[in-house]
Chains A and B, each alone.
Chain A
Amino acid sequence: MKKNLFLWMLLAFGAVTFTACSEDDDNGGNGGNGNVQNSCYVVNQGGWGFNNASLQVYDAAAGTATSPDCNEDIFFTANGELLGDVAQDLLWVGDKLFVTVTNSQKLEILDETGKRVRQYTYAAEGASPRYMATDGQKVYVTNYDGYVYVYNAASGDSLTRIYSGSYPEGISVVDGTLVVNNSNYGGNGGGEATVALIDLASGEAKIIKENVCNPYTQSLVCGGEVYIIDSGNYSDILPTIYRVDTESATLEKIVENATYMATCGECIYYVNATFSYSNFLTNYSPLCKLDVATGEKSEILPEEAMKDVCSLNVNPQTGDIYVGFSPSADDFGTMRVYSADGEQKGLFEVGYYTSGARFRN
């Protein structure tokens, strides 16, 4: 049981920013939370086994956020019950929110107030939904049972499921192809860590194995191409951003030493936070921006500002950068909002182990 707990803590905390925030995927529009350009949802995992996942709304114009407390968050307020255990991801599509709650083994489909529209539970199958992507018509949800579950984005109807590989995590969809990080449960899954390229029309899959060590939670689209982070082995294999060549089914190394990334337009924002055995501390890098079109790199924020970083997102409408921080396992975190050039514009409290901010697709 102790070992189990450790492993779950490890995996649960692996929630990183996953948001299809590039303009390629954005379907725009205004929702029920005021000005879309100035609102976002924040999804907080909560502690493993504590049933204290929560959802917040942040109004950037007013600089205010709803409560991060699981007993006061928008889900509880709208439904009168707890969201559950380990909310891993949130996808905002049209006027609906898709929320994966991994340890509660369910997918919640909500309206923009947080009111439940539909719920899918997977406890009977022992399956745990993880991360999501959308092409505007359908929502694709990775699940630890090895499949990608497909839902109608508008109605929430369950459509089908597609086999991907061992313990799928981060996912993107581009040009009719699903790109899925098959994590193999951090090496504990009994399978193989791969990146799967699944053609949605034919159902055929290409499997990338070369250079793949630990493809984890992050898979994003930038400039029409998919970028993933392979988290390495937390030792001598470093976390690295790769570009996925869907034609040749290969990975191209883009940035080494990057644990979190976000995309906006033609740019990738990234930061590194890695535990180092040289000083037995977590070491942080500056927040940087890479223009994938020109290859130009620039520093946005110094490394001192990145201490305790745990999520990174960019609002595709405004270009504002949302950085989540979790300094303690026992306390709420914070989220800072910066302009594209690094000027702080906002600060608010978020829940335990925030997965980050989510914007409308």
Chain B
Amino acid sequence: MLVAAGLALCSPYFCSVKAQNNDVRLLDSLIVSGSSSRSAAESSAPLQRLTADDLARMGATTVGDALKHMSGVTVRDYGGVGGLKTVNIRGLGAQHTAVFYDGVAIGDCQSGQVDLGRYSTENLAGVELAIGQGDDIYKSARVLAAAGVVSLETHGAVGGSRSGDWQVGVRAASFDTYKGSVKYSQSFGEWWGVSTFGEYVNSEGDYPYRIVNPTTTVSGRRMNTDVEELRGEVNLSWQRAERHLLRMKVYGYGYERGLPGGVIVNNPSTTDRLDGYNLFGQLFYEYVPSPSLKMKFALKHNHTYDHLREQLAASLSVDRYRQRETDFSATFMWTPNFIEGLSFAWSEELFKNSLRTTNNHVSMPTEPERLTALSAVSARYSYRAFSLTGSLLHTATRESAPHGDVAPDRSRFSPSVALSCYPFAGVDFCLRASYKSIFRLPTFNDLYYREIGNYNLAPEKTRQYNVGAAYSARPFGCCDELTLSADAYRGEIKDKIVAVPAVFIWKMSNVDYVETLGADINAKGVFSLPSRTKLHLSAVYSYMRAENRTPGSSLYGHQIVYTPLHSGAVDAALATPVADFGYSLLWSGKRYFIARNIPSNEIEAYGEHSLWLARTWNFKGLSLFAKAEVKNIADRNYEIIRYYPMPGRNYTLTFKLSL
């Protein structure tokens, strides 16, 4: 009770919440801090990480591609360079996944899902996926508020030489796809560092496809697939001793692309276009006044603009969406000296989202705004081989809009707890269990989309239970590294928000109840072989039964859409003194694109095999890296999203020059 009262006091803004109104949609941003380089065996919750080397080996050009190599996730990939890619963790839905870019949340309050196809891996130092409640309590409240977190870490402004480091990259790929990038980093004096990154992408993307139905084939060439993207960022850091760290970032992204849409029988034409930009700036400061106390603060402002031109039969519909977000967070961690192993953390976060939508034919006056306050208190106690972590998060929202009805304000507590144990002294073997209760607010589309939105929607609640084990070691001589983990989980989604037919229009409603039961297995190893050769192996496997358990539903017991029962990935790389060779397999069992589990709603299982060859030449301070890849070498026609075919066999050549 005291804790609850304290949390409420921490967010006075919302505790008395009652409605006013408001609405909107928007982007978010936020700050997370701290390194995420811990091994899987050091976390009380499933944690997977891909390093820059991993990303380079597997040839993942976007974050969406990279996440396909992790367990427990399904990436909805609409195909092609410009295709939408969203990530769904353990069947909870893409809206339950928070995505952070150098500690900055990049969500989208309009749709609630982030297009991970927009984020290049070129400038990333790593990608991390954390599921459920972990034992790192020095996190911003917004991290605690998500069922799963994808963290993208760039190289930032740290690590450049005094004279400056350059890296220039070019890539040419099938279907007239070209990419160029430039990175520069430099250190100044003892404390300052700066880095810049820019990337340009141009692709026609008009690949051929063939979709096989039970007895017929629909084939053709994708149309209106061209994409042009330009992204860039500037980072500045200042670090003094171990006590002060200041980071600043300015990021910009602009794009113009066609929207090919799904393949429609007898109707290949599509002319819809989308363009827009995303700009944000953030300021991060961390201060460590003493070994027992540390704190961090973050401020961010984000602006996103999307411009959709939709050619209708007899008119042109033009939509413009403007999202803004301002976010501030403060996080404190205290490790008292008087009780060994005990730590406390407190995080406050306040952010405001707004959405403005216009259409050339229809008045869309609702301009919703949402003010959200998150307050979290966490504690962790470690005693000998055991570590117990608990958190309580309070979420309060206030919605408003100048016109129309708005959703009620919300106030809710969300607990989570995690326990880990290292039963064998000196062995990096961990047993873990965790529970997390969290919810997601309806998006602005859910609440306010013209005629379809339902401003009375309740939040979608989830409960996650996880038990597992992780092991990390060098068990024998030639094995440089071995990490194994296995987790079993159960998830519950209550009041799932879905679109329901409501006479001529659809209406967003809380109806479904979904239960998930699954297991994730990860294995990763690095082995030294004769002749200075190393073998990198990794494999992931996921089992996920996610069923509709809505009482009385005709679909009770049916697997939810786009969720394979079995899926996995294998990556192997052989690094020799001469060159590096690699093989990659992405595999997914059958899925359903409509919830009724009948054969005509199935999407076939697929396996995508890829090979690559790379070599690096070093001379006089220069380093030239070259890589050739053949993806989907079997030229397999497959779909991840029904009627959005993926490319067949395709080729990529990459060159990077570093100096």
Contacts and interface: CB of A to CB of B under 8 A. Distances in A.
- For chain A, what secondary structure do more than half of its interface residues adopt (helix, strand, loop), or is it mixed? loop
Interface residues of B, number: 66
**Size band of the interface chain A makes with B:** 35 or more
A361 interface: no
Given A1-B308, A280-B454, A123 B506 contact: no
Contacts of A70: 600
Contact of A16 (B267, B274, B504): B504
A273 interface: yes
Interface stretch (A5-13, A25-33, A294-302, A313-321): A5-13
Contacts of A16: 504
Interface centre among B111, B266, B445 (most CB of A within 10 A): B266
A19 B501 CA distance: 22
B595 interface: yes
B36 interface: no
A104 interface: yes
A274 B259 CA distance: 34
Interface in B443-459: 445, 449, 451-452, 454, 456
A49 interface: yes
A71 B501 contact: no
Contact of A1 (B274, B361, B504, B643): B274
Interface string B553-582: 111000001000000000000000000000
A352 B598 CA distance: 13
A124 interface: yes
Contacts of B360: 190
A354 to B, nearest CB: 11
B313 A13 contact: no
Given A10-B504, A82-B216, A259-B504, A185 B266 contact: no
Contacts of A326: 501
B559 to A, nearest CB: 11
B507 A282 contact: yes
Looking at A4, A103, A277, the one whose CB has the most chain B CB atoms below 10 A away is A4
A216 interface: yes
Contacts of B311: 126
A146 interface: yes
A166 B308 contact: no
B505 A275 contact: yes
Interface string A285-312: 0000000000000000000000011100
Interface stretch (A36-44, A200-208, A245-253, A328-336): A328-336
B269 A144 contact: no
B317 interface: yes
Contacts of A49: 261-262, 264, 643
A80 B504 contact: no
B501 A6 contact: no
Contact of A330 (B274, B313, B451, B594): B594
A310 B503 contact: yes
B6 interface: no
A186 B312 CA distance: 13
Contacts of B163: none
A223 interface: no
A52 B596 CA distance: 13
B267 A104 contact: yes
Contact of B504 (A13, A105, A166): A13
B319 interface: yes
A113 interface: no
A182 B272 CA distance: 24
Contacts of B425: none
B282 to A, nearest CB: 27
B555 A82 contact: no
A50 B218 CA distance: 13
Interface string A117-153: 0000101101110000000000000011110000000
A189 B361 contact: yes
Given A51-B643, A103-B267, A123-B266, A273 B554 contact: no
Nearest to A309: B503
A319 B272 CA distance: 46
Nearest to A15: B504
B289 interface: no
Interface in A142-196: 143-146, 166-167, 185-191
Nearest to B113: A2
A292 to B, nearest CB: 24
A145 B314 contact: yes
B500 A329 contact: yes
B313 A188 contact: no
8 contacts: A1-B272, A84-B266, A85-B267, A105-B269, A126-B313, A190-B317, A327-B554, A329-B500
Interface of B: 84, 110-111, 213-216, 218, 259, 261-269, 271-272, 274, 308, 310-317, 319, 359-362, 405, 445, 449, 451-452, 454, 456, 498-507, 509, 553-555, 561, 593-596, 598-600, 642-643
Interface of A: 1-4, 6, 9-10, 13-14, 16, 47, 49-52, 69-72, 80-85, 101, 103-106, 121, 123-124, 126-128, 143-146, 166-167, 185-191, 216, 231, 234, 259, 273-275, 277, 280, 282, 308-310, 326-332, 352-353
Give the 8 A-B CB pairs with smallest separation, nearest first. A330-B595, A144-B313, A190-B315, A84-B265, A104-B266, A273-B503, A280-B456, A49-B262
Given A3-B310, A13-B504, 4 more contacts: A84-B267, A105-B269, A189-B312, A353-B501
